[in-house]
């Protein structure tokens, strides 16, 4: 068995091999991700949309994140467990931020926390780091800024915005973040940030030059029958799990109707004498 993935081990991968990260929100998903030898499990606040049916991630709370993070931890994955700090859990005060971060570690069994934003969030990031909690940054298209961004849009496309993002990335690395998610930015910008900072960058919709990649479980496995049928450009679907599950359940339903499920070997029996006596 391979060793547990640690923060120093992630940092040491700056110059390869490339890092992999996939979201998981419960124990069986964590086992599946872990069996694929993925380096990091992200208990993302994307669970608000992927498993809770919300339209954005703003609905995730600290209690919800703890509930799912602890479920993932019970699978005892080899992968590093990184849990998202949900919206408003690190925006109010340093005290509240540290308490929320502490709960995600102590109750949610997270091994590192991810939070969105750049220099604006530095005081909170520094406070969490000072409490000995590893921090993963998240820049670019930050879904918790949904309303402020006016929807999910690629960020850092013009020169000024790109320079701001580079400065944010440097500030996060300087502050002591152990890795940085880059979401929804042009590839050249992600490439420059990756070159400019000493910590690994993990891309999602940020091109091939990042030190690693992250995808959402339900996206990469097509596990959500999407009513709109629309997928982000950066998603590659490696399986069609929703389709597979639907077909399987249709077969189950047909077998029940046909009386071919359950079969004899799927049935409990009593001894012939008891059966005969019961029948009379």
Task: State the Cα–Cα distance between residues 38 and 255, nearest whole angstrom.
Answer: 37
Helix (H) or strand (E) holding 111: none
Q: Are 156 and 192 in contact (CB under 8 A)?
A: no
Give me the 123-162 binding string for ligand KIV, x by CB under 6 A, dash otherwise. ----------------------------------------
Task: State the Cα–Cα distance between residues 259 and 279, nearest whole angstrom.
Answer: 21
Residue 84 marked as a ligand binder: yes
Helix (H) or strand (E) holding 180: strand 179-183
Please identify which residue in 24, 110, 182, 216 interacts with ligand KIV, judged by CB under 6 A: 216
23 binds ligand KIV (CB under 6 A): yes
Residue 45 marked as a ligand binder: yes
Using CB under 6 A, which of the segments 10-18, 44-52, 87-95, 187-195 binds ligand KIV? 44-52
Q: What angle do CA 118, 121, 125 make, to 5 degrees?
A: 105
181 binds ligand KIV (CB under 6 A): yes
219 binds Na ion (CB under 5 A): no
What the block records as the tokens of 182 is: 């880059």
45 binds ligand KIV (CB under 6 A): yes
111 binds Na ion (CB under 5 A): no
Query: Which stretches of 51-111 are assigned E, i.e. beta strand?
Result: 80-84
Q: Number of C-alpha atoms within 13 angstroms, CB side, residue 247?
A: 5
Please identify which residue in 10, 25, 33, 44 interacts with Na ion, judged by CB under 5 A: 44
Pick from 114, 145, 105: nearest CA to 41: 114
Residue with Cβ nearer ligand KIV (60 or 270): 60
Please identify which residue in 19, 40, 69, 84 interacts with Na ion, judged by CB under 5 A: 84
Task: State the Cα–Cα distance between residues 103 and 110, nearest whole angstrom.
Answer: 9
Chain residue at closest Cβ approach to ligand KIV: 44
Binding site for Na ion (CB under 5 A): 44-45, 84
Query: Given the rule CB under 6 A, which residues bind ligand KIV?
Result: 23, 42, 44-46, 84, 181, 183, 204, 214, 216
């Amino acid at each position: 068995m391979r060793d547990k993935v640690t923060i120093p081990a992630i940092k040491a991968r700056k110059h390869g091999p490339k890092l992999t990260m996939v979201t998981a929100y419960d124990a069986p998903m964590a086992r599946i991700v872990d069996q694929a030898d993925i380096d990091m499990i992200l208990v993302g606040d994307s669970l608000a949309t992927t498993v809770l049916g919300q339209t954005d991630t703003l609905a995730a709370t600290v209690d919800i994140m703890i509930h799912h993070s602890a479920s993932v931890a019970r699978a005892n994955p080899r992968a590093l467990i990184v849990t998202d700090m949900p919206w408003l859990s690190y925006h109010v005060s340093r005290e509240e931020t540290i308490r929320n971060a502490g709960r995600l570690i102590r109750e949610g069994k997270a091994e590192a926390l991810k939070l969105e934003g750049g220099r604006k969030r530095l005081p909170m990031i520094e406070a969490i780091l000072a409490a000995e909690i590893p921090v993963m940054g998240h820049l670019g298209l930050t879904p918790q800024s949904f309303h402020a961004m006016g929807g999910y849009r690629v960020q850092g496309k013009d020169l000024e915005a790109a320079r701001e993002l580079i400065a944010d990335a440097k500030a996060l690395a300087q502050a002591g973040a152990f890795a940085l998610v880059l979401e929804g930015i042009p590839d050249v910008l992600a490439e420059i940030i990756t070159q400019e900072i000493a910590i690994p960058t993990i891309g999602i919709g940020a091109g091939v030059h990042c030190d690693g990649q992250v995808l959402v479980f339900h996206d990469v496995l097509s596990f959500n029958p999407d009513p709109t049928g629309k997928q982000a450009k950066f998603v590659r679907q490696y399986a069609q799990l929703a389709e597979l599950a639907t077909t399987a359940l249709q077969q189950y339903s047909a077998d029940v109707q046909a009386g071919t499920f359950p079969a004899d070997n799927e049935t409990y029996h009593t001894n012939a004498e008891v059966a005969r006596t019961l029948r009379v």
